[in-house]
Amino acid sequence: MGLTTSKHGDVTLIRLDGQLTVGNRQELKAAAQVALEGGARKLLFDCASTSYIDSSGLGALVTIARRAREVGGAIRLTGLNEDLQSLFELTKLDTLFEIYPDTDRALAGY
């Protein structure tokens, strides 16, 4: 998995490329932690190039969401493919995360 971090106003955008699995979940958690420790409170995870997320990857996202909320932050997800959208719905994680079809809509009104 590759990660790219950029700023869009006061939103930190983290793009996930490839698969989010047990082997690389710590990389995502570390990137989010750096952003939160740096004062970021609005995180947007762009999953348009993410093909697969295993249970460890889901757990990492839940952990990040909890940490963000602890410091008054929020997380949004964007660009989920059909399979990932279904995964979030089946696991009821679509109730934990705000999910948007594209980055522009996710950034709007954040």
Instruction: Say how many domains are in the chain.
Output: 1
User: Over the stretch 46-95, which tens digit does the pLDDT of each residue have?
Assistant: 999 999 999 999 999 999 999 999 999 999 999 999 999 999 999 999 99
Range of the domain at 100: 2-107
Quick: pLDDT tens for 8-59. Answer: 999 999 999 999 999 999 999 999 999 999 999 999 999 999 999 999 999 9
Buried b (16+ CB within 10 A) or exposed e, 21-49: eeebbeebbebbeebbeeebebbbbbbee
CATH code assigned at 59? 3.30.750.24
Residue 109 pLDDT > 90: no
